[in-house]
Amino acid sequence: MRSSKRRLGLLVLALLLVVCLAGVVNAQGEGVLEGQVVNGTADGAQIGSGIPIVLHVLQGDITMDTLDAVTDGGGTFRFDGLDVDPTLDYWPEAVYLDVTYSPTEPLRFGDDQAPLEATVTVHETTEDDSAIIVDSVHIIAESFGEALRVSEIHLFGNTGDRTYVGSSKDGEGATTLSIPLPEGAVGLAFGEGTPEGRFVETAGLVLDTEPVPPGQGTAMAFFSYHLMVMGDTVPLERRFFYPVNNLNVLAAQPGLSLASDQLLSMGAESFQGQQYEYFVGQGLGPDAPLFVELTPVAGMGGDQGMVGMPAGNDPAASASVRGNQELLRWLGMGLAALAVIGAIVYAAVTRSSTGTQDSETDLAADPETRRLVVELADLEDSFDAGQIDEVTYKGRRAELVRELKSSNL
């Protein structure tokens, strides 16, 4: 009897093992992703074997798996046995000449479970920055009594067909983009989530160390600094090493007035309950710096102390800083944000030319756009807080940007 029970137990265990193993086999799936690595540089080398490929598998904000492969002699790669669950996103990345490239959007299996096809475009590299432009600069100025806080986001593009990788000097690591700081700037700080060591401050410059691939909005710098109030007005001169396509300045209200012959006033704007005076400018660049005079309005600014920056343990101050970061992130949210900003500027100019300018407009009046913008800001906060990894962040961000583009067509 005891022997029979033992045999029965072994049989049940064997059956369970078979079921589990069958489950593992089935979990591998039948999906196929086939890809091609191509060189986007006109006279670039033919892509052959040995290019590392990493396939990131994401479900919502969670990275489910990462798979590795290399290209064959024709520059192609293939992943078999993929799960065809339509909620999964597949994002292949290729590393070429020490620069990582990926498609602009992740891939997803459809109802027909047809093989996925991916093209990853890579580029040759260059140390020449002549193709670098500034797609847009967004500046927010705020008064804190004895100091002004200025936050900036710069979106850079590359109009060439080679990735700009910069050059090294005096044996130091290579640097790429250069951003001059204004005279008198103190307390330089970079946006949350900026990798430590990415930016280098030296001799009144902020230097980036990341490569700039071809395309629009392929690099971003987000930072803030303070200007001390020494008189009635605070001069602000912004110089640029590259041509600037678009620039806007928002002066927080109440508490600050702005004057500049190079900026056009678009009237009042609001974002999450905060009022701003909105200005736009064009035609700026290496030979045309921006000159602005900022005038704190007596008794209307904040009272956060001599350094002008609220204490980090002040909940109200922290909320103010976060709101400011969300606004900058919204303004600099890649191509989709640029499209939205363009529509806002066009509408403001139209109102101005017809003499029917409203006293207040919303930066995102459409409910769907507002929802997407809030989700983007929340996603940025989650990434900054380390709650999601970079691959998950990129995948979800691509989805939201795609939706934002569609909602503003």
The pLDDT-based confidence of 254 (bands split at 50, 70, 90) is confident
285 in the same domain as 240: yes
Could you give the 3-state DSSP secondary structure of residue 268?
Answer: strand
Determine the length of the chain: 409
Mean pLDDT of the chain: 78
Please report whether residue 110 resides in a domain: yes
pLDDT band at 118 (very low <50, low <70, confident <90, very high): very high
- With 0-12 CB in 10 A as exposed, 13-18 as middle and 19+ as buried, what is 358? exposed
Q: Measured between alpha carbons, how far is 383 from 239 in angstroms, rounded to an integer? A: 31
* Confidence band, pLDDT 50/70/90 cuts, at residue 364: very low
Q: Are 256 and 309 in a shared domain? A: yes
Together in a domain, 44 and 136: no
Is 11 within a domain? no
Of 92, 123, 154, the position where a domain reaches its end is: 123
Q: State phi, psi for 68 to the nearest 5 degrees.
A: -120, 150
Q: Is residue 328 part of a domain?
A: yes
17-56 pLDDT, tens digit each = 433 433 333 346 789 999 999 999 999 999 999 999 999 9
Considering the entire predicted model, what is its pTM?
Answer: 0.71
Within this chain, do residues 182 and 315 fall inside the same structural domain, yes or no? Answer: yes
Kindly state whether residues 152 and 283 are assigned to the same domain.
yes
Looking at 123, 151, 184, the residue that finishes a domain is: 123
pLDDT of residue 9: 46
Task: Enumerate residues 6+ apart whose C-beta is below 8 A from 264.
Answer: 279, 280, 281
Same domain as 94, residue 217: no
Domain assignment present for residue 2? The answer is no
Distance of CA 147 to the CA centre of its chain: 29
Number of independent structural domains in the chain: 2
With DSSP H G I counted as helix, E B as strand and the rest as coil, what are the percentages for the chain, rounded to 5? 25, 40, 35
Residue 21, in any domain of the structure: no
Average pLDDT over residues 267-284: 86
Q: Which of 57-61, 86-90, 253-257, 270-274 has the highest mean pLDDT?
A: 86-90
- Provide the β-strand partners of residue 237: 291
Task: For residues 58 and 143, state if they share a domain.
Answer: no
Sheet holding 205-208, edge to edge: 178-180, 205-208, 199-202
Q: Show which of 89, 123, 157 is a domain's final residue.
A: 123
pLDDT on residue 392: 80
* Confidence at residue 359, expressed as pLDDT on a 0 to 100 scale: 36
pLDDT (0 to 100) of residue 330: 55
In a domain, 229, yes or no: yes
Residue 23 inside a domain? The answer is: no
Same domain, 140 and 102: no
Residue 15 lies in a domain: no
CATH assignment of the domain containing 55: 2.60.40.1120
Residues 184 and 109 occupy one common structural domain: no
**Res. 84: pLDDT tops 90:** yes
User: What would the two tokens of residue 189 be?
Assistant: 């700080």
* Cα–Cα distance measured from residue 196 to residue 153, given in angstroms and rounded to the nearest whole number: 18
Mean of pLDDT values over 181-193: 88
Confidence band for 376, pLDDT divided at 50, 70 and 90: low
- Angle, helices 390-407 vs 367-384, to 10°: value is 170
CB 259 within 8 A of CB 293: yes
* In 28-107, alpha helices (H): none
Domain with 53 in it: 28-123
Q: What's the pLDDT at 285?
A: 94
Please work out, in degrees rounded to the nearest 5, the angle formed at the alpha carbon of residue 38 by the alpha carbons of 33 and 44: 165
* Long-range contact set of residues 42-45: C-beta below 8 Å, sequence gap at least 24: 42/161, 43/124, 44/123, 44/124, 44/161, 45/124
Do 154 and 67 share a structural domain?
Answer: no
Do 168 and 219 belong to one domain?
yes
150 and 95 within one domain? no
Residues 6+ apart with CB under 8 A from 59: 85, 87, 88, 89
* 339/404 Cα distance (integer angstroms): 9
Cis peptide preceding 254, ω within 30 of 0: yes
Please give the structure tokens belonging to residue 78: 């293939």
